[in-house]
Structure 1
Amino acid sequence: MAQITIQPATADRFADAQHAWDNGGDGRGCQCQWWTITNAEWNTTSQPQRQELFRAEVDAGPPPGLVAYVDGEPAGWVRVGPRTRQRRLARTKNFAQSAEPWDDDSVWAVSCFVVRKEHRGEGLNDRLLAAAVDFAREGGARVIEAYPLDPAEGSKKGSSALFHGVVSTFVKAGFEEVARPRADLAIVALDLRS
Protein backbone atom coordinates (compact mmCIF):
# COMPACT_ATOMS: atom_id res chain seq x y z
CA MET A 1 0.00 0.00 0.00
CA ALA A 2 1.27 3.46 -0.93
CA GLN A 3 2.41 5.79 1.83
CA ILE A 4 0.72 9.20 1.58
CA THR A 5 2.01 12.23 3.47
CA ILE A 6 0.92 15.85 3.19
CA GLN A 7 3.17 18.80 4.04
CA PRO A 8 2.89 22.61 3.95
CA ALA A 9 4.30 24.25 0.81
CA THR A 10 7.29 25.89 2.45
CA ALA A 11 10.22 27.45 0.57
CA ASP A 12 12.17 24.17 0.64
CA ARG A 13 9.22 22.44 -1.08
CA PHE A 14 8.93 24.89 -3.99
CA ALA A 15 10.27 22.30 -6.48
CA ASP A 16 7.89 19.69 -5.04
CA ALA A 17 4.88 21.92 -5.75
CA GLN A 18 6.17 22.41 -9.29
CA HIS A 19 6.47 18.64 -9.74
CA ALA A 20 2.99 18.05 -8.33
CA TRP A 21 1.60 20.44 -10.96
CA ASP A 22 3.29 18.67 -13.88
CA ASN A 23 1.03 16.20 -15.62
CA GLY A 24 -1.97 17.31 -13.60
CA GLY A 25 -4.02 19.96 -15.38
CA ASP A 26 -3.27 23.67 -15.62
CA GLY A 27 -1.12 23.94 -12.50
CA ARG A 28 2.18 24.48 -14.28
CA GLY A 29 0.87 27.38 -16.37
CA CYS A 30 -1.24 28.89 -13.60
CA GLN A 31 1.33 28.52 -10.80
CA CYS A 32 -1.70 28.68 -8.50
CA GLN A 33 -1.90 32.44 -9.03
CA TRP A 34 -5.38 32.60 -10.61
CA TRP A 35 -7.06 33.50 -7.31
CA THR A 36 -4.27 35.74 -6.01
CA ILE A 37 -4.05 38.33 -8.80
CA THR A 38 -6.59 40.42 -10.67
CA ASN A 39 -7.79 39.58 -14.16
CA ALA A 40 -5.75 42.47 -15.60
CA GLU A 41 -2.62 41.17 -13.84
CA TRP A 42 -3.34 37.64 -15.07
CA ASN A 43 -3.64 38.83 -18.65
CA THR A 44 -0.31 40.66 -18.54
CA THR A 45 1.80 37.99 -16.81
CA SER A 46 3.60 35.08 -18.41
CA GLN A 47 4.05 31.63 -16.89
CA PRO A 48 7.62 32.48 -15.75
CA GLN A 49 6.33 35.67 -14.11
CA ARG A 50 3.56 33.74 -12.32
CA GLN A 51 6.18 31.22 -11.21
CA GLU A 52 8.18 34.05 -9.65
CA LEU A 53 5.01 35.33 -7.94
CA PHE A 54 4.47 31.86 -6.49
CA ARG A 55 8.12 31.61 -5.42
CA ALA A 56 7.84 34.99 -3.65
CA GLU A 57 4.61 33.86 -1.97
CA VAL A 58 6.17 30.62 -0.74
CA ASP A 59 9.41 32.32 0.34
CA ALA A 60 7.54 35.00 2.32
CA GLY A 61 5.17 32.53 3.99
CA PRO A 62 2.93 31.48 5.48
CA PRO A 63 2.56 28.43 3.22
CA PRO A 64 -0.17 29.07 0.63
CA GLY A 65 -1.07 25.41 0.34
CA LEU A 66 -0.15 21.80 0.92
CA VAL A 67 1.74 19.23 -1.15
CA ALA A 68 0.73 15.56 -1.12
CA TYR A 69 3.42 12.91 -1.50
CA VAL A 70 2.87 9.32 -2.58
CA ASP A 71 5.80 7.16 -1.54
CA GLY A 72 7.90 10.31 -1.27
CA GLU A 73 7.05 11.65 -4.75
CA PRO A 74 5.10 14.96 -5.00
CA ALA A 75 1.70 13.95 -6.35
CA GLY A 76 -0.90 16.58 -5.45
CA TRP A 77 -1.60 20.11 -4.29
CA VAL A 78 -4.31 22.10 -2.52
CA ARG A 79 -4.39 25.87 -2.07
CA VAL A 80 -5.70 26.80 1.36
CA GLY A 81 -5.37 30.04 3.27
CA PRO A 82 -7.13 33.21 4.32
CA ARG A 83 -9.64 34.31 1.71
CA THR A 84 -8.26 37.85 1.92
CA ARG A 85 -5.03 36.61 0.29
CA GLN A 86 -6.98 35.24 -2.67
CA ARG A 87 -8.18 38.58 -4.04
CA ARG A 88 -10.02 37.28 -7.09
CA LEU A 89 -12.48 35.30 -4.95
CA ALA A 90 -14.10 38.52 -3.72
CA ARG A 91 -14.28 39.83 -7.29
CA THR A 92 -16.01 36.71 -8.65
CA LYS A 93 -19.72 37.39 -9.17
CA ASN A 94 -20.71 33.76 -8.59
CA PHE A 95 -19.22 33.86 -5.09
CA ALA A 96 -21.03 37.03 -3.98
CA GLN A 97 -23.61 34.87 -2.20
CA SER A 98 -21.07 33.96 0.50
CA ALA A 99 -22.50 34.70 3.94
CA GLU A 100 -19.06 35.65 5.27
CA PRO A 101 -17.55 39.16 5.10
CA TRP A 102 -14.82 39.35 2.47
CA ASP A 103 -12.44 41.33 4.69
CA ASP A 104 -12.44 38.77 7.53
CA ASP A 105 -9.02 37.07 7.86
CA SER A 106 -10.56 34.28 9.94
CA VAL A 107 -12.41 33.02 6.86
CA TRP A 108 -10.16 30.70 4.87
CA ALA A 109 -10.73 29.22 1.42
CA VAL A 110 -9.84 26.00 -0.33
CA SER A 111 -9.72 27.14 -3.92
CA CYS A 112 -7.61 24.76 -6.00
CA PHE A 113 -6.68 21.09 -6.26
CA VAL A 114 -4.17 19.46 -8.58
CA VAL A 115 -3.44 15.71 -8.69
CA ARG A 116 -0.97 14.21 -11.11
CA LYS A 117 -2.70 11.93 -13.64
CA GLU A 118 -0.95 8.79 -12.45
CA HIS A 119 -2.29 9.35 -8.93
CA ARG A 120 -5.92 10.08 -9.72
CA GLY A 121 -8.45 7.68 -8.27
CA GLU A 122 -6.32 7.09 -5.16
CA GLY A 123 -8.34 9.37 -2.86
CA LEU A 124 -5.78 12.18 -2.81
CA ASN A 125 -8.40 14.96 -3.00
CA ASP A 126 -10.10 13.56 0.12
CA ARG A 127 -6.76 13.41 1.94
CA LEU A 128 -5.74 16.88 0.75
CA LEU A 129 -9.05 18.35 1.90
CA ALA A 130 -8.79 16.73 5.34
CA ALA A 131 -5.26 18.10 5.70
CA ALA A 132 -6.43 21.54 4.50
CA VAL A 133 -9.13 21.61 7.18
CA ASP A 134 -6.57 20.70 9.86
CA PHE A 135 -4.14 23.31 8.50
CA ALA A 136 -6.85 26.00 8.56
CA ARG A 137 -7.87 25.09 12.11
CA GLU A 138 -4.24 25.22 13.28
CA GLY A 139 -3.86 28.57 11.47
CA GLY A 140 -6.71 30.14 13.43
CA ALA A 141 -9.45 29.95 10.81
CA ARG A 142 -13.01 30.35 12.09
CA VAL A 143 -14.65 29.15 8.86
CA ILE A 144 -13.30 27.44 5.78
CA GLU A 145 -15.15 28.00 2.51
CA ALA A 146 -14.89 26.46 -0.97
CA TYR A 147 -16.51 26.77 -4.39
CA PRO A 148 -16.73 23.24 -5.83
CA LEU A 149 -18.41 22.07 -8.99
CA ASP A 150 -21.22 19.54 -9.13
CA PRO A 151 -20.56 17.25 -12.11
CA ALA A 152 -24.04 15.75 -11.71
CA GLU A 153 -25.44 19.11 -12.84
CA GLY A 154 -24.78 20.81 -16.16
CA SER A 155 -22.30 19.72 -18.78
CA LYS A 156 -19.56 17.14 -18.32
CA LYS A 157 -16.40 18.74 -16.95
CA GLY A 158 -12.89 17.67 -17.88
CA SER A 159 -10.43 16.98 -15.09
CA SER A 160 -8.71 20.37 -15.54
CA ALA A 161 -12.04 22.16 -14.99
CA LEU A 162 -12.45 20.34 -11.67
CA PHE A 163 -9.61 22.24 -10.00
CA HIS A 164 -12.25 23.71 -7.64
CA GLY A 165 -12.96 20.22 -6.32
CA VAL A 166 -16.37 18.54 -6.45
CA VAL A 167 -19.33 19.03 -4.12
CA SER A 168 -19.44 15.39 -2.99
CA THR A 169 -15.86 15.55 -1.65
CA PHE A 170 -16.69 18.55 0.50
CA VAL A 171 -20.03 17.17 1.73
CA LYS A 172 -18.31 13.91 2.72
CA ALA A 173 -15.84 16.02 4.75
CA GLY A 174 -18.65 17.73 6.67
CA PHE A 175 -19.03 20.95 4.69
CA GLU A 176 -22.52 22.37 4.28
CA GLU A 177 -23.83 23.92 1.10
CA VAL A 178 -24.62 27.57 1.80
CA ALA A 179 -25.46 28.76 -1.73
CA ARG A 180 -25.87 27.48 -5.30
CA PRO A 181 -24.97 30.37 -7.66
CA ARG A 182 -25.33 28.05 -10.67
CA ALA A 183 -26.74 24.55 -11.03
CA ASP A 184 -23.22 23.15 -11.33
CA LEU A 185 -21.48 25.45 -8.80
CA ALA A 186 -21.91 25.51 -5.03
CA ILE A 187 -20.54 27.53 -2.14
CA VAL A 188 -19.80 25.27 0.79
CA ALA A 189 -18.55 26.10 4.28
CA LEU A 190 -17.32 24.38 7.41
CA ASP A 191 -17.49 26.10 10.79
CA LEU A 192 -14.27 25.20 12.59
CA ARG A 193 -15.38 26.44 16.01
CA SER A 194 -17.45 23.34 16.72
Structure 2
Amino acid sequence: MDVKELTEDTWGDFEAVMGANGGASGCWCMHWRLSIAEFMERKGDGNRRAMRELAKREPAPGVVVYQEDEPVAWCSIGPRAAFARLGRSPLLASIDDQPVCAITCIYVHRRHRGAGLLPAILDTVCEHAAGQGYPVAEGYPIEPREGRRAGADTAMTGIASAFLDAGFHEVARRKSDRPIMRRKLRTR
Protein backbone atom coordinates (compact mmCIF):
# COMPACT_ATOMS: atom_id res chain seq x y z
CA MET A 1 0.00 0.00 0.00
CA ASP A 2 0.96 3.59 -0.57
CA VAL A 3 -0.50 7.00 0.25
CA LYS A 4 -0.74 10.32 -1.53
CA GLU A 5 -1.77 13.52 0.19
CA LEU A 6 -5.13 14.96 -0.81
CA THR A 7 -4.48 17.73 -3.31
CA GLU A 8 -6.12 18.94 -6.50
CA ASP A 9 -4.16 16.18 -8.29
CA THR A 10 -5.64 13.40 -6.12
CA TRP A 11 -9.14 14.88 -5.73
CA GLY A 12 -10.64 12.48 -8.29
CA ASP A 13 -9.28 9.48 -6.38
CA PHE A 14 -10.70 10.91 -3.13
CA GLU A 15 -14.13 11.26 -4.80
CA ALA A 16 -13.87 7.70 -6.12
CA VAL A 17 -13.33 6.38 -2.58
CA MET A 18 -16.00 8.55 -0.96
CA GLY A 19 -18.69 7.84 -3.57
CA ALA A 20 -21.55 10.06 -4.67
CA ASN A 21 -22.75 10.67 -1.09
CA GLY A 22 -19.35 11.79 0.15
CA GLY A 23 -18.92 8.96 2.59
CA ALA A 24 -21.51 8.63 5.32
CA SER A 25 -24.48 10.95 4.78
CA GLY A 26 -22.78 13.77 2.87
CA CYS A 27 -19.93 14.10 5.34
CA TRP A 28 -17.03 14.54 2.90
CA CYS A 29 -14.90 14.08 6.03
CA MET A 30 -15.86 17.41 7.58
CA HIS A 31 -17.49 15.89 10.70
CA TRP A 32 -14.54 16.51 13.03
CA ARG A 33 -13.64 19.89 11.53
CA LEU A 34 -16.94 21.75 12.08
CA SER A 35 -19.48 22.33 14.81
CA ILE A 36 -22.57 20.14 14.49
CA ALA A 37 -24.59 23.19 13.34
CA GLU A 38 -22.04 24.07 10.65
CA PHE A 39 -21.84 20.44 9.58
CA MET A 40 -25.60 20.07 9.21
CA GLU A 41 -25.91 23.39 7.37
CA ARG A 42 -23.22 22.36 4.85
CA LYS A 43 -24.15 18.67 4.68
CA GLY A 44 -23.61 17.26 1.21
CA ASP A 45 -22.32 19.68 -1.41
CA GLY A 46 -21.35 22.36 1.12
CA ASN A 47 -19.09 19.89 2.94
CA ARG A 48 -17.70 18.73 -0.41
CA ARG A 49 -16.77 22.31 -1.34
CA ALA A 50 -15.21 22.89 2.10
CA MET A 51 -13.02 19.77 1.78
CA ARG A 52 -12.03 20.76 -1.76
CA GLU A 53 -10.79 24.09 -0.37
CA LEU A 54 -8.79 22.28 2.31
CA ALA A 55 -7.23 20.10 -0.41
CA LYS A 56 -5.70 23.26 -1.91
CA ARG A 57 -3.89 24.15 1.33
CA GLU A 58 -0.89 23.00 3.31
CA PRO A 59 -0.83 20.80 5.23
CA ALA A 60 -3.05 18.39 3.35
CA PRO A 61 -6.20 17.37 5.27
CA GLY A 62 -5.41 13.69 4.83
CA VAL A 63 -4.27 10.97 2.48
CA VAL A 64 -5.74 8.71 -0.16
CA VAL A 65 -4.59 5.12 0.35
CA TYR A 66 -3.75 3.01 -2.70
CA GLN A 67 -3.34 -0.70 -3.22
CA GLU A 68 -1.54 -1.44 -6.48
CA ASP A 69 -2.34 2.07 -7.78
CA GLU A 70 -6.08 1.70 -7.05
CA PRO A 71 -7.55 4.15 -4.49
CA VAL A 72 -9.03 1.96 -1.75
CA ALA A 73 -9.39 4.27 1.25
CA TRP A 74 -9.28 7.79 2.58
CA CYS A 75 -7.71 8.72 5.91
CA SER A 76 -8.16 12.10 7.56
CA ILE A 77 -5.05 12.97 9.54
CA GLY A 78 -3.43 16.00 11.10
CA PRO A 79 -2.66 17.68 14.40
CA ARG A 80 -5.46 17.38 16.99
CA ALA A 81 -5.97 21.15 16.80
CA ALA A 82 -7.17 20.78 13.18
CA PHE A 83 -10.24 18.91 14.43
CA ALA A 84 -12.34 21.32 16.48
CA ARG A 85 -14.91 18.72 17.54
CA LEU A 86 -12.24 16.54 19.16
CA GLY A 87 -11.44 19.40 21.53
CA ARG A 88 -15.11 19.82 22.46
CA SER A 89 -15.83 16.10 22.86
CA PRO A 90 -16.01 14.88 26.46
CA LEU A 91 -15.41 11.33 25.17
CA LEU A 92 -12.40 12.09 23.01
CA ALA A 93 -10.85 15.11 24.73
CA SER A 94 -7.08 15.22 24.88
CA ILE A 95 -5.50 13.11 27.59
CA ASP A 96 -2.26 15.12 27.70
CA ASP A 97 -0.35 17.79 25.80
CA GLN A 98 1.74 15.39 23.69
CA PRO A 99 1.74 16.34 19.98
CA VAL A 100 -0.10 13.62 18.08
CA CYS A 101 -1.15 12.89 14.53
CA ALA A 102 -4.89 12.50 14.96
CA ILE A 103 -6.43 9.81 12.75
CA THR A 104 -10.07 10.86 12.73
CA CYS A 105 -11.46 9.00 9.75
CA ILE A 106 -10.62 5.84 7.84
CA TYR A 107 -13.12 5.46 5.05
CA VAL A 108 -12.68 2.30 2.99
CA HIS A 109 -14.23 2.12 -0.47
CA ARG A 110 -17.35 -0.03 -0.43
CA ARG A 111 -15.76 -2.69 -2.72
CA HIS A 112 -12.91 -3.25 -0.26
CA ARG A 113 -14.78 -3.38 3.04
CA GLY A 114 -14.60 -6.63 4.95
CA ALA A 115 -11.32 -7.59 3.27
CA GLY A 116 -9.22 -7.06 6.40
CA LEU A 117 -7.35 -4.03 5.02
CA LEU A 118 -7.61 -1.75 8.07
CA PRO A 119 -4.39 -2.82 9.84
CA ALA A 120 -2.37 -2.41 6.62
CA ILE A 121 -4.03 0.95 5.95
CA LEU A 122 -3.13 2.09 9.47
CA ASP A 123 0.47 0.89 9.08
CA THR A 124 0.83 2.83 5.83
CA VAL A 125 -0.74 5.97 7.28
CA CYS A 126 1.52 5.74 10.35
CA GLU A 127 4.60 5.51 8.12
CA HIS A 128 3.44 8.66 6.35
CA ALA A 129 2.81 10.45 9.67
CA ALA A 130 6.27 9.47 10.92
CA GLY A 131 7.74 10.92 7.74
CA GLN A 132 5.93 14.16 8.55
CA GLY A 133 7.68 14.27 11.93
CA TYR A 134 4.85 13.14 14.19
CA PRO A 135 6.11 11.18 17.24
CA VAL A 136 2.73 9.56 17.99
CA ALA A 137 -0.41 8.57 16.06
CA GLU A 138 -3.71 8.70 17.92
CA GLY A 139 -7.01 7.13 16.86
CA TYR A 140 -10.58 7.13 18.09
CA PRO A 141 -12.05 3.83 16.87
CA ILE A 142 -15.32 2.21 17.72
CA GLU A 143 -15.40 -1.14 19.50
CA PRO A 144 -18.63 -2.79 18.34
CA ARG A 145 -20.51 -4.83 20.92
CA GLU A 146 -20.06 -8.56 20.59
CA GLY A 147 -22.08 -9.98 17.75
CA ARG A 148 -22.79 -6.56 16.21
CA ARG A 149 -21.31 -4.71 13.26
CA ALA A 150 -20.54 -1.00 13.27
CA GLY A 151 -22.49 1.05 10.74
CA ALA A 152 -20.77 3.26 8.17
CA ASP A 153 -21.48 6.37 10.25
CA THR A 154 -19.62 4.97 13.28
CA ALA A 155 -17.08 2.72 11.57
CA MET A 156 -15.59 5.79 9.85
CA THR A 157 -13.28 6.24 12.84
CA GLY A 158 -11.96 2.69 12.48
CA ILE A 159 -12.43 -0.50 14.44
CA ALA A 160 -10.52 -1.01 17.70
CA SER A 161 -9.34 -4.54 16.84
CA ALA A 162 -7.71 -3.25 13.63
CA PHE A 163 -5.89 -0.58 15.62
CA LEU A 164 -4.61 -3.27 18.00
CA ASP A 165 -3.47 -5.37 15.02
CA ALA A 166 -1.59 -2.31 13.71
CA GLY A 167 0.39 -1.86 16.95
CA PHE A 168 -1.78 0.69 18.76
CA HIS A 169 -2.58 0.43 22.45
CA GLU A 170 -5.41 1.87 24.48
CA VAL A 171 -4.60 5.00 26.49
CA ALA A 172 -8.08 6.08 27.64
CA ARG A 173 -11.72 5.02 27.52
CA ARG A 174 -14.50 7.31 28.66
CA LYS A 175 -17.31 5.24 27.10
CA SER A 176 -17.46 1.45 26.84
CA ASP A 177 -17.26 1.33 23.03
CA ARG A 178 -14.93 4.33 22.34
CA PRO A 179 -11.26 3.83 23.26
CA ILE A 180 -8.56 6.37 22.52
CA MET A 181 -5.59 4.48 21.10
CA ARG A 182 -1.99 5.46 20.37
CA ARG A 183 1.02 4.15 18.51
CA LYS A 184 4.54 5.47 18.95
CA LEU A 185 6.09 6.36 15.59
CA ARG A 186 9.67 6.13 14.40
CA THR A 187 10.31 9.55 12.96
CA ARG A 188 12.76 9.90 10.13
Q: Determine which of 148, 151, 157 is the counterpart of 2:144.
A: 151
Displacement of 1:145 after TM fit?
A: 1.0
> 2:159 corresponds to which residue?
166
What CA distance in whole angstroms lies between the structure 2 residues aligned with 1:50 and 1:23? 13
Pairwise CA distance, 1:122:
2.8
Distance 2:148 2:177 in 1: 8
Tell me if 1:40 matches 2:37: yes
**Equivalent residue for 1:130?**
123
Q: Following the alignment from structure 2 to structure 1, what is the Cα–Cα distance between the partners of residues 176 and 44?
A: 32
Aligned length: 187
Match of 2:13 in 1: 16
What letter is aligned with 1:20?
A: V
Bigger helix share: 1
Are residues 69 and 142 of structure 1, via their aligned partners in 2, closer, same or farther at CA, if it must alter by over 3 Å? Answer: closer
* Percentage of identical aligned residues: 33
- Cross-structure match for 1:31: 28
User: What corresponds to 1:60 in structure 2?
Assistant: 57
The yes-or-no answer on 1:139 pairing with 2:138 is no
Instruction: Tell me which of 172, 177, 183 is aligned to 2:176.
Output: 183
TM-score (norm 2): 0.87
How far apart in 2 are the matches of 1:143 and 1:173? 13
Partner of residue 73 from structure 1, selected from 70, 75, 80? 70
User: How is 1:65-144 mapped onto 2 (pairs within 5 angstroms)?
Assistant: 65-96=62-93, 98-101=94-97, 106-144=99-137
Q: Give, in angstroms, the shift of residue 58 of structure 1.
A: 0.8
Aligned CA distance change for structure 1 residues 24 and 113 (closer, same or farther; 3 Å): farther
Is the CA contact (8 Å cut-off) linking 1:25 and 1:159 kept in structure 2? no
Look up the SS of the partner of 1:109 in the other structure: strand
The CA deviation at 1:115 is 1.2
Q: Structure 1: any 5+ residue segments left out of the alignment?
A: none
Q: Distance in 2 between matches of 1:25 and 1:17?
A: 9
- Deviation, structure 1 residue 140: 1.6
TM-score calculated relative to the size of structure 1:
0.85
- Label 1:178 to 1:74 Cα distance change in 2 as closer, same or farther (>3 A): same
Q: Distance in 1 between matches of 2:55 and 2:145?
A: 35
Kindly provide the amino acid, as one letter, of the partner of residue 36 in structure 1: R
Q: Is the 8 A contact 1:10 1:61 kept in 2?
A: no
